[in-house]
Structure 1
Amino acid sequence: MSPTFDAFIGFYPTTDLAATHRFYVGTLGLTLARDQGTCHIYAVAGGGFLGFCLREAVTLPPTVVLTLVTDDVDGVYERLMAAGVTAETAPKHNAEYGIYHFYAQGPSGERVEVQRFDEELLH
């Protein structure tokens, strides 16, 4: 029998927990689900969480991407631009993957993708 999981948490390092909190709560609108002192866990949706833990140094390769899925890609892009967040490009369609998306830079240099699927995901 396959195990039943209740949630998913992806943990990532940050050198500045306060800046990370301002970005994920203040700019993106996520909710702080758990404050563990040197780690914060933010609720995303459907049992998904992002965790950030304080570390002295952060080196994430550009292939590590934190992807947030929303129907309002353009609205999130505008909100991030108004907050002074750096984006690689404006939102665009990617026919190969059937998505509309853009990449932005998080406070610790993490690559954050905001996307919408052309077709609804299977659950």
Structure 2
Amino acid sequence: MIRPPITEFIAFLPAPNWEATRQFYEQTLGLPCALEQVDCCIYRAAGAGYLGFCRRAETPQPAERVILTLVTPAVDEWHAHLQAHGVEITKPPAYNERYHIYHLFARDPNGYLIEIQRFDDPRWSD
């Protein structure tokens, strides 16, 4: 049986810090809001990959178990950009030998971890 197509991906997360969330994803990360709904905003992260945030009273606990990974060749540039915007960096850029990645971790206004990552594994292709 042939699998039916999947054309896009959206991960939805609750965002109790609504204004700070909008500021972070739109201004700091520069992600465009592809669709604004009644109490949600869906951001285009890359290609057909989206992050959706909905205004809710609470984040899942513990929020730090949620990791949103953005893949880019420009990890060091993102590190400087996030620092310039006062974003909490929880782990500065470092090479992870086990996974063959170069990455950093930061925290968004809701407590979610943001990983900025570059794959150095030759098996990974765009």
**When the two structures are superposed, what TM-score results if normalisation uses the length of structure 1?**
0.93
Q: Within the alignment, does 1:103 sit opposite 2:89 as a pair?
A: no
Asked whether the equivalents of residues 44 and 50 of structure 2 are also in contact (C-alpha less than 8 Å), the reply is yes
The structure 2 residue matched to 1:118, chosen from 77, 98, 120, is 120
Contact 2:105 2:116 in 1 (8 A): yes
1:11 is displaced (CA, Å) by: 0.5
**2:24 matched to which residue of 1?**
23
The alpha-carbon distance between structure 1 residues 21 and 8, as it changes in their structure 2 partners (threshold 3 A), is: same
SS of 1:90's equivalent? strand
Partner of 2:95: 93
Distance change >3 Å, CA 79–CA 60, structure 1 → 2 = farther
Task: Give the whole-Å Cα distance in 1 for the aligned partners of 2:48 and 2:22.
Answer: 19
Asked whether the 8 Å contact 2:65–2:112 carries over to 1, the reply is: no
CA offset at residue 38 of structure 1? 0.7
1:3 is matched with 4
Q: Is the 8 A contact 1:60 1:110 kept in 2?
A: no
For residues 76-112 of structure 1, give each alpha carbon's deviation from its aligned partner in whole angstroms, at most 9, with x where no partner exists.
Answer: 1111111111011210000100100011000111111
Query: Which amino acid in the other structure matches residue 99 of structure 1?
Result: I
CA shift, 1:65, in A, is 0.4
Letter in 2 for 1:111: L
Answer yes or no: is the 8 Å Cα contact 2:95–2:102 preserved in 1: yes
Q: Which runs of 4+ in 1 moved over 3 A?
A: none
In the alignment, what sits opposite 1:63?
Answer: 65
Q: Which runs of 5+ in 1 are unaligned?
A: none
Identical aligned residues as a percent: 43
Name the aligned partner's letter for residue 87 of structure 1. I
Contact 1:39 1:53 in 2 (8 A): yes
- TM-score (norm. length: structure 2): 0.91
Secondary structure at 1:89's aligned position in 2?
strand
Structure 2, unaligned runs of 5 or more: none
Q: Are the aligned partners of 2:67 and 2:113 in contact in 1 as well (CA < 8 Å)?
A: yes
